[in-house]
Amino acid sequence: MIVPGSAGAAPLSLKTDGATKTTTICPFCGVGCGQIAYTKGNELIHVEGDPDHPTSEGTLCSKGAALGQVTNNPRRLRQVMYRAPGSAKYESRSWDWALTRIAQRVKATRDASFQTKSGARTVNRTEAIACLGGAALDNEECYLLVKAMRMLGITYLEHQARI
């Protein structure tokens, strides 16, 4: 006879034991499903649907469920790849180089295209630059991005989910 509490199966051990749980949003599409990312140190070890998320309620499609394979992938690009105008090949560049180059191009384009008037109306805008947001941006990032783009006078603001 088995006395309750005296015997039982070996305790289940999971790969997520001892991992840090962080809630996040799937970066792949505009549905914005909730995910739980499990990390140990700097390593992502598991991703699953967040049952407390109001829209996805713990579910993920195959893309969202495979997010870990994108993060932990030896073929993942980890540096800027630049293809110069007219060139047939990509060259690696530093992030500092890329950010400086983007800032220079934005300033030059804005300076060359900025309109202060449209007829009698004051507009203070550029129609030569557009901004496309992505599903990986959360609410706070979208708020800051829109503020920054409006500050530059950019009126063409769109989001991946509407295209």
Residues that bind ligand SF4 (CB under 6 A): 26, 28-29, 31-33, 56, 60-61, 63-64
Rounded to 10 degrees, the C-alpha dihedral 60/61/66/71 comes to -70
Residue 154 structure tokens: 């950019």
State the nearest-atom distance from the C-beta of 65 to ligand SF4, in Å: 7
State the nearest-atom distance from the C-beta of 28 to ligand SF4, in Å: 4
State the nearest-atom distance from the C-beta of 67 to ligand SF4, in Å: 8
Decide whether 58 or 153 has the Cβ nearer to ligand SF4.
58
State the nearest-atom distance from the C-beta of 153 to ligand SF4, in Å: 32
Measuring CA to CA, how many Å separate 138 from each of 45, 99, 134, 145, 152?
Answer: 22, 21, 9, 10, 21
Determine the Cα–Cα distance for residues 128 and 152; give it in Å rounded to an integer: 11
Decide whether 26 or 37 has the Cβ nearer to ligand SF4.
26
Decide whether 25 or 154 has the Cβ nearer to ligand SF4.
25
DSSP assigned state of 79: S
List the beta strands (DSSP E) in the chain. 20-25, 34-40, 43-49, 80-82, 91-93, 115-118, 121-133, 154-159
- Name the residue with the smallest CB distance to ligand SF4: 64
What is the chain's Cα-based Rg?
24
Decide whether 61 or 98 has the Cβ nearer to ligand SF4.
61
State the nearest-atom distance from the C-beta of 49 to ligand SF4, in Å: 8
Decide whether 131 or 135 has the Cβ nearer to ligand SF4.
135
